[in-house]
A = this chain, B = another copy of it.
């Protein structure tokens, strides 16, 4: 089986079969990162460009490691040092990169839809590493991979996503993915952080942490973007935290074998208490490990000669 499109733009565009293909391929790559020699020659002579218009250690590093473990050449371009400061349009940047014949372009951009525009424009494979508040498909894929690894399935589960749903591309991609895979998704957060029409995406909405996580299999906590706090979008961190911080008391409302996830970076004590982040329910670091494997899988499926 192959992926239908040349690009990974969002979970919305992927079928259940494609998601399963990616998760299975990723699972087979987990082992490479534990070898004495953590490298396979699969993508030798391929060029992967990481084009990041927003700062990101973990996602960029994860893609760079994924590329290198497959023996691809990786090129990092960050917006601040790029000719974008000279006023070049994204389209021209993309066309110029295209002309240098890379095989894949990984893009993170603050504008929703930027990767989609690129994908239409250039012949190379585009991987969306986060576009505005729209989608972050590789995060949702690594989340689903981690759930499947721990629970054996991504189907029939009850998953609560808690935090600033309105501005979270992680939430959107996971909602698309988890509902597609047959799980039930609950979202929760302060009223101003819940988009009005979110129920149309097939989720249940609560403005209350206790109700949201009651009897769930998975709690996925979102990062509160402290940068946004200065814009007075929500009253105070203290208030947010008193209502929505996951801690050892409220976690008891969830199923006994609940798993706690977080896309990182964590704000300890704000959206999640340290004992929960580091405790037995947490699979946060498994998510990071699986992130490398998912990105290897995508690079392999898109440019590894399988298409």
Interface residues of A (CB under 8 A from B): 33-39, 44-47, 49, 55-58, 61-62, 64-65, 68-69, 73, 75, 77-78, 80-89, 92-93, 95-103, 223, 226-227, 264-268, 285-286, 288-289, 291-292, 305
* Nearest-neighbor residue (CB-CB) of A34 within chain B: B101
Q: A77-B61, A88-B264 are in contact. Are A35 and B39 (CB under 8 A)?
A: no
CB-CB under 8 A from A87, the residues of chain B are: 226, 265, 267
CB-CB under 8 A from A81, the residues of chain B are: 55, 57, 78, 80
| Chain A to chain B contacts (Cβ below 8 Å), 29 pairs | A33-B101, A37-B44, A37-B45, A38-B47, A38-B101, A47-B65, A47-B68, A55-B83, A57-B77, A57-B82, A57-B84, A57-B93, A58-B96, A64-B75, A65-B75, A68-B73, A69-B73, A78-B81, A80-B81, A83-B265, A86-B223, A86-B226, A86-B265, A88-B266, A92-B266, A95-B285, A96-B264, A99-B285, A99-B286
CB-CB under 8 A from A88, the residues of chain B are: 264-266
Nearest CB on B from A16, distance (A): 28
CB-CB under 8 A from A226, the residues of chain B are: 86-87
Q: In the complex, given contacts A78-B81, A86-B223, what are 19 additional A-B residue pairs having Cβ atoms less than 8 angstroms apart?
A: A33-B101, A35-B45, A36-B305, A38-B101, A55-B83, A57-B81, A57-B84, A57-B93, A57-B96, A58-B96, A61-B75, A65-B102, A68-B73, A86-B265, A87-B267, A92-B264, A93-B265, A96-B285, A100-B289
CB-CB under 8 A from A289, the residues of chain B are: 99-101
Nearest CB on B from A274, distance (A): 10
Partner of A39, one of B34, B44, B265, B266: B44
Instruction: Verify B265–A62 contact, CB threshold 8 A.
Output: no
- Report, nearest first, the 3 A-B pairs whose CB atoms are least far apart: A37-B45, A88-B265, A99-B288
CB-CB under 8 A from A100, the residues of chain B are: 33, 61-62, 65, 288-289, 291-292
* Nearest-neighbor residue (CB-CB) of A277 within chain B: B92
What CA separation (Å) do A37 and B43 show in the bound complex? 8
